Each structure stands twice: as structure tokens, then as C-alpha cells.
């Protein structure tokens, strides 16, 4: 691999320019250069990473051998998951990890050069004005911008396109009198039994139709984006009858 040196950003504006250049390269890889990127991520090869470069280009390569690395490293082994899921789901997963990597690199520079509270806030605000790579590759950039002014976490969960997620609906009011008290409190989590946390992320099992706190079943909103039919741990462990 040809080694190309890039100037180290030291100010908020320089870090943002570096972020924007790397971001542009990653977007190219996952959109206009998708065919080339897909072919480069051969599952038969070793652990591969997708790098965005400050000059708006990208490359797929092995992780650096230096420990600790000069910069935070992107997700390792993206090629291994390529053939294990649908292409659009794989691309979305790579996009999510790429967004995380871009933020880690930007704030690594901020920490390295002693950015104060105001400088970090300014950097985040500049970054936050841009749609994420995930939003771009999934076509949700405009929708996400429209929802950005709503700080209610429940509403944000409802913005996800995965079925049967966010806060659970209240129970029916026409149930027996013995359950009237539970009805007022709404649905309960099938794992912990609590009915609180309506502002938290919830997910519903497609098999038993019970609701669960995402944290109780270790499912995040980002992970749920790639689940078509969710089964809770109990239903997943049930053996099929002969």
C-alpha cells in the first residue's frame, strides 16, 4: 500500500475539514463506488477495514499493525459479514460503523490537541449539521433532519422503520377487572416485568408478541434496523416440535 501523509489537523475548522473529507470518501465507497467496494470486500481475505481519507477517497485494507494505532481504527472484518446478509443490510451496517469511526477520529484530534468545552461543542455542532452516512445510504437523510428538532426519545424510536418497535401500546381496557390496575400502567416488559420506561426503546417479539425493553434483551435501535423478524430469547430457545 502506498503511504500518503496528510497534515495533522489542529484547530476546530481543520478537524472538521478532515472529517468532511473522510466522510466524502466513505460515501463514495458506499454509493457511487459500491460495485468496486463490494468486490474488494472478499470474505476469503483476512480481516479488512474501510478507511475514509482526508482527500475524499477511500480504501479497503488490513488494519495497521502499530499498537496502539496512530488513529482510532474502523470496524474490523467487514468482509466476513458481506455474504451473510442482504447487500442493503450489509451496506447499512458498514455505514453505521463508519459514522462511529468518523466521530472517534474527530474527537481523538480534539483530545490530542486539548480542545476545551466550547471547542468540542462547536465541532459537534458543525458535524451535526451534516446527515450521517447511514442516513444517506438508506435514503433517510431528509426524514432524519425533519425529526432532529424533536428531543423526545419516544418519538425518535417511533421514527425507526423496523416493525413492532418503540414504546409498547397500552393494554385493552375491556380486560377483566383483576387486570384493571395493570391496564392503567400499560404493557410490561417480558424480561424484567416492569412497565416503566415508556420513553425508552422497546421491541416486540414476532412470535409471542410480548414487549421487551431493548436493554433487557440487549437489542439497540441500530441493531434492530437489521432484524426483519425478532424473536425473544425464550422463543429463540424453543425447539421445533417433530
Q: Which residues touch 110 (CB under 8 Å, ≥6 apart)?
A: 12, 15, 119, 120, 123
What is the model's pTM?
A: 0.57
What confidence tens digit (pLDDT) does each residue in 164-211 have?
445 555 555 454 444 444 444 467 888 887 777 667 888 888 888 888
The string of DSSP codes covering 46-114 is S--EEEE-TTS-EEEEPPP--SS-SS----S-GGGGGGGS-HHHHHHHHHHHHHHHHHHHHHHHHHHTT
Q: Mean pLDDT lowest for which of 3-12, 31-40, 86-95, 141-150?
A: 141-150
Q: In this structure, how many other beta carbons lie within 10 angstroms of the beta carbon of residue 60?
A: 19
Distance separating alpha carbons of residues 19 and 22, to the nearest angstrom:
5
pLDDT at 215 over 80: yes
**What is the widest separation between alpha-carbon atoms in the chain?**
74
What confidence tens digit (pLDDT) does each residue in 73-113 have?
999 999 999 998 899 999 999 999 999 999 999 999 999 99
Amino acid at each position: 500500500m502506498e503511504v500518503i501523509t496528510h497534515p495533522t489537523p489542529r484547530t476546530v475548522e481543520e478537524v472538521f475539514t478532515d472529517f468532511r473529507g473522510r466522510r466524502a470518501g466513505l460515501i463514495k465507497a458506499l454509493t457511487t463506488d459500491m460495485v468496486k467496494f463490494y468486490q474488494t470486500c472478499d470474505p476469503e481475505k483476512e480481516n479488512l477495514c474501510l478507511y475514509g481519507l482526508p482527500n475524499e477517497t477511500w480504501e479497503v485494507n488490513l488494519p495497521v499493525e502499530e499498537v496502539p494505532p496512530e488513529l482510532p481504527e474502523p470496524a474490523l472484518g467487514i468482509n466476513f459479514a458481506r455474504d451473510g446478509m442482504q447487500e442493503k443490510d450489509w451496506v447499512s451496517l458498514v455505514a453505521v460503523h463508519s459514522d462511529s469511526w468518523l466521530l472517534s477520529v474527530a474527537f481523538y484530534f480534539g483530545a490530542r490537541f486539548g480542545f476545551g468545552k466550547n471547542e468540542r461543542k462547536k465541532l459537534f455542532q458543525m458535524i451535526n449539521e451534516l446527515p450521517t452516512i447511514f442516513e444517506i445510504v438508506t435514503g433517510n437523510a431528509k426524514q432524519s433532519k425533519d425529526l432532529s428538532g424533536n428531543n423526545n426519545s419516544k418519538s425518535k424510536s417511533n421514527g425507526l422503520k423496523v416493525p413492532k418497535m418503540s414504546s409498547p401500546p397500552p393494554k385493552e381496557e375491556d380486560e377483566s377487572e383483576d387486570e384493571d390496575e395493570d391496564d392503567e400502567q400499560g404493557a410490561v416488559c417480558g424480561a424484567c416485568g416492569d412497565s416503566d420506561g415508556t420513553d425508552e426503546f422497546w421491541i416486540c417479539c414476532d412470535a409471542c408478541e410480548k414487549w421487551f425493553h431493548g436493554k433487557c434483551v440487549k437489542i439497540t435501535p441500530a441493531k434492530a434496523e437489521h432484524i426483519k423478524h425478532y424473536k425473544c430469547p425464550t422463543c429463540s430457545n424453543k425447539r421445533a416440535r417433530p
